[in-house]
Amino acid sequence: GHGGDHTHEDNVHDAHQINEDEIQVEFCDNTVRSAKYTILTFWFLNLFEQFRRVANFYFLIVAVVQLCLPSPPVSPFTSVFPLVFVVVVTMIKQGYEDVCRHRSDREINTAPVNMLDRDLGDTTVKKSKDIKVGDIVLVKINETFPADLVVLCTAALSGKGYVMTANLDGETNLKPVFASKLTKHCKDAEDLCKLAAGQIECESPNPDLTKFTGKIRIGNSSAPLSLENLVMRGTKLRNTEYVYGCAVYTGRDTKMSRNSKITANKFSTVEKTMNKFLLFFMGLLVFEIVFSTTMKYLIGIDLETPENCNELKHWYLGSVLKIEALQITEDFFSYLVIYNYIIPISLYVTLEFQKFVGGKFLQWDKDLVDEETGEGGQINSSDLNEELGQIEVLFSDKTGTLTENIMVFKEASIRGRKYKYDELLPSGSSPAADHLDSSLSVNTDDSLFDPNGSYRDPMDENEIVEFLRALALCHTVQVGRTCDHMTGDSAAVSSSGAYTRLLPRHRLKSLLTPLRVAARTLNKDSNMKQESRGNSLQPSPTEEVGSSDENMGPPFGSGQGRDNLAFEGDQDSEIMYNAASPDEKALVEACLKFGVGFSGEQETAGGHFLHLTETRAGYTSKRVYEKLQVLEFDSTRKRMSVILKNLDTHEIVLYTKGAESSVIPRCSEGSFFETNSHIDEYALVGLRTLAVATRQLHEDEYQHMQHNLNTAAQAMEDREEKIRKVYDEIEKDMVLLGATAVEDKLQDGVRDTLVKMSEAGIAVWILTGDKRETAVNISYSCGHLQPHYTLLDLTDQTSMSLGQSMSLHEDKLTHAHADADFALLVDGTALTIIFSDKEYQKQFFEVSIKCKSVICCRMSPLQKAEVVSMIKNSDKKPVTAAIGDGGNDVAMIQEAHVGLGIMGKEGRAAVRAADFAFPKFKHLQKVVLVHGHWYYYRVALLVQYFFYKNVACFSCQLYYAFFNSFSTQTVFDSVSLTLYNICYTSLPIFLFSLMEQNLSKEKLLDYPGTYKRHFRNKLLRWREFFLWFSQALWHSLVFFFGWLFFWSDSSNKGGLNITSGLSLDQVSFGTAMYASIVTLVNLRLLFQSRSWNVYLVLSIIGSILFYILFTFAEHSVSIPASWASAFLGYNENEIGGASVPLDSATYWVYHHVLSSMSVWLFTLLLLVVAISPDIIIRILRKHWGVFLNRKNKKMRVETEDDDVFSMSYTNKAYLAHTDSFTNRAHRDSRTNSHSNKGRHGGVGSHSISYSNKVYSTEDSDTFRKKVGSNVFIDSEGYSIGQNNITTKL
């Protein structure tokens, strides 16, 4: 590009040439490449990636060393085969995944697209990968855009179209796009070919989905380009017949590709700990090698010295050896080959498959299936399964996560008066069923009606209508497209080709709730007049201006727009609204019910016209407004506006709605005090509020604004800031009309879930963009805040006051009573200050970590991620999880250790970004408390067991070195070394790690406190590791020295190792020892398991039987002499028979071992001796836990006072003396007395819902007995029950 710009022509296929003074630009093609490998690069890159892993590289070095040794102690096959097995299995898995990616790429790259051919003057079908920058592409309705295109023209005369961006940001609502004003008049390929050569100048490719700036030049004319002129690859065309666009970004330069970067890999705590264990064993391995090599040259062999010359003590070992560097190096690597088996090579591949298959159990869980949608659990990253069992801090979004994101209009404040839902309905209408249980108090002094309910003040009615018109017009809501639902002549298109969205004789269904409007008319002649017009659904705006009608209803003040009684609606019509947010949809739907309905938007060559249908006066009237400008909502202004022209009076009016903090300060007239008071009351009961204002504009004011806006829109630098200044100039001196109150309902099971998260020891933080009052009261409603919590407030702080406030809160927490509970409230402004100062961050962490609940309000998406990062990287480094449902939660979800997505109504961005996803917030209980607990327990024992079984077996190699003069001799044969981890001991632990349930699902859900038992990676601490290590050493010592005793016994004619008259030799010694170890390490799982199942038992029995049968067969194999001569290097003259054993050292050995009854009996004896300490420790732990539980219970009963009684808050007991309880109850009642009728969010309801039962002094013993009886002791001796939580009286 030139000067950071991206420049090309817009109607030439290979339009890369720019002006002579500009630089030629090379653009990439439109090929999509998500695959990692090609056929040629797969073998090299995949192997390179695999051997970047420390364990694989280590075993590769061992295999190479073993192959290079002149006389290795064991066959190189023992190292090469396991390594090849692991690498090949992983290669097959990754190769299959890449083949799937290639198929997906091929499908996208070969998809047919319609491209303009200038030579033919029409479009031709080509492949998507052939699109180049500068090509003009035709996209039809419901097709996906193949590249980033600048819209040149659409099917609508206005150049407007609609796209769905769910693939980019997860939002399923329709968003408008607009053609450039220089090209929007074109209607087909022929018109585009007639255009003069043009250029598009735009910024270089970047990943910012919210920004695009550029210019388009056609001949001598130019026009600005912004984000509304760009359609991105991956979006779909909806509600628009076709769009022509010029490709500006293709292939890897598209914004979708730029946003497809792989996020930083997340590693579980278990994986990090496992790497530490591997380092420990590598250090141990080096020590064993150095020790054995040193011992060999100290005591193991005859060395040449001046004293002994050629005298040999061990004549059978050969001549006296000299100490040489080459010999020492060879011995060093020989010991490396012998001892390397202590590190389990199959651990990685077993763990990978365990996580993959184990993750399926969450996906198959029927408890996680939503009955409405049929969706269930989803896993995007099975590498983090066990991290679900380690969560200490949970960060949660509010809207759509804790709430359903279904908005219901509840109340409105209009010109200082409060109106309930049913009070705003037209006369004669009945309240909707879902509003009969309104949670807000009934009006008294400022009621719309007199005591008998029959009078409606005309002045109030004018204000109501003006307020409702503002809501019905100030939005970006669209009415459903006609041809999607209509058939025959009922679907009309105007002669100009513009689709009309005024739908009189057609039933359209709402996306969420059908809205039926019974239209009324007073003049049947007007109905006949309408029918005579045939398919013309709406008179053009030019016809309406200046027309009159005798039956026009009474006007409701100035600026109302033109009545149009020539239109008659169906008596049972339905309207479908598509809105950018649930709030807007709720407001427009409410206006429709209140008698001021938005009928649709009509696009003609003369402009855009909005239609209202009003029925409040008892008859139906139509009003039309010309839409001049929409000032879109943005997070900085926190408001949106629309500028309309009244076609009756030609007056220009501005309507604005937004956050009260951004609207009310810009008003110069209105009921400020009353409206602010009502907004605070609405927020206090958890309702979402918006302020509404208006302003009359003069023609010259509007023209001046339009000129400034055009100038700002063409700026290449700071365009957004300049446009924002123009908006601020016009959005001032407004008249405040009132405010709305909308309820966002809580999801089912939210309260119970949050309570259980708290009992499980998980600190829950709510991060929301809502205002302080709304956030606090929703938090009370869902049980996140309890009435007895002391709230520490850090809102409305400055950089000067923040430090002092945190110091005061820190002192309060330090000197508070042990039973006191605190909650913290902080807003985005305070967090901005905190993030900028390291000392503030440390101080904030110290305060927040001591609080049971934390609420962060007025948060931006970036601040959510920053909060998660701050806590995650703090000194204590707690394991964090973040849960959300919308695109604004993606940064937070990706930043946390564990990302959780809710399949909500805000698209699928959060689901795609999350590691785990499920339909409802209530499913968090099962996912974390049950699956998380099981995942961690299984994986932790899998890791410990793998190291245990290798130490138990291969430590015997070191012991054996003391008895063979450190002569690099192995005690086990090559086949046994090779198959130990792959075949003999792999299946039982794999099934154990998939199915083990140390506690049942019911107990884990009923007693959430059990979740805390595994905090801070408890099962993989060094203490637990060395306990397993000690058990492994004990088992190896028992079997090695037990069998050594068996072999060295000479009490009975040469010892116990005599069978069939033959003495069992060294190979038999190793075979008997190996068989005992294989049997023990498999049986060990039976004693470790808390829930035996048929699969585990059969796998253990099967593994032991497989070893016996395979070894029996392997020790029996002999091969023809010709094969031995050809493949094994035997000398035919020395064979002396027709066949030779496959392995002469082990041939027929196992038969002799099994034929000895003493071997069988001694094996059984050693198994009992080895496993006895495990059984004794298990029994002692269980009964010791019972003893401690009874002792602690007795001590609590003895120390209780008789003058106290308990008050239970959600399974947690709080005791107080009678007078202190009275004071607390009085304080809570005063705090919560505002609205005791709240259905979901009334604070007053907490005094009922939290106070489950109050026991009197006389009942305290009964209560104590009741709690004490609800206890059980698990198999490890842990006491679990409510008494752990509630009986500290």
β-strands 898-902, 916-918 pairing: parallel
Structure tokens at 713: 């829109």
State the distance between the two ends of the chain, measured CA to CA, in whole angstroms: 74
> 74: closest CA among 956, 977, 967, 952?
977
CA 33 to chain CA centroid, Å, is 25
Tokens 């006609």 correspond to 482
Report in angstroms the alpha-carbon separations of 235 from 110, 114, 123, 310: 18, 17, 21, 88
> Residue 635: how many CA atoms within 13 Å on its side-chain side?
9
Query: φ, ψ for residue 562 (rounded to 5)?
Result: -85, 130
Burial (0-12, 13-18, 19+ Cβ within 10 Å), 324: exposed
Phi, psi of 697 (to 5 degrees): -110, 145
How many beta carbons lie within 10 A of that of residue 252, not counting itself? 16
Radius of gyration of the chain (CA): 39
| Rounded CA separation 954/321 (Å) | 29
Nearest-angstrom CA–CA distance, 1186 and 508 = 67
Closest CA to 1074 of 1040, 1024, 1045: 1040
Query: Bridge partners of 871?
Result: none
- 221 phi/psi in degrees, rounded to 5: -100, 150
CA dist list (Å): 1015 to 391, 394, 1044: 8, 14, 43
Residue with tokens 């601040």: 863
DSSP reduced 3-state for 497: coil
Question: From the CB of residue 682, how many other CB atoms can be counted at a distance below 10 Å?
Answer: 26
87 CB-near residues (< 8 Å, 6+ apart)? 47, 50, 56
Select which of 148, 302, 365, 397 is catalytic. Answer: 397
Print burial letters for 34-63: b (CB count within 10 Å at least 16), e (below 16): ebebeeeebeeebeeebbeeebbebbbebb
As beta bridge partners, residue 881 has: 394, 898
* SS3 of the chain: helix, strand, coil, percent, to 5: 45, 20, 35
Phi and psi of 150, rounded to 5°?
-90, 125
- Alpha carbons 1098 and 1108: distance in angstroms, whole number: 15
Specify the amino acid at residue 518: A
Q: What tokens does 224 get? A: 């600005």
CA 1277/CA 966 separation, integer angstroms: 46
Q: Is 640 helix (H, G, I), strand (E, B) or coil?
A: strand
Q: Which helix (H) or strand (E) holds 657?
A: strand 652-658
Spatial neighbors of 1160 by CB under 8 A, at least 6 apart, are: 1154
Q: State the amino acid at position 288 in one-letter form.
A: E
191 is catalytic: no
Please report, for residues 50, 62, 77, 743, the alpha-carbon distance to residue 82 in angstroms, rounded to integers and kept in the order given. Answer: 14, 12, 8, 62
Three-state secondary-structure class, residue 303: strand
Cβ-count burial of 139 within 10 angstroms (0-12 exposed, 13-18 middle, 19+ buried)? buried
Q: 3-state class of 44 per DSSP?
A: helix
Distance of CA 1139 to the CA centre of its chain: 64
Q: Catalytic positions, please?
A: 397
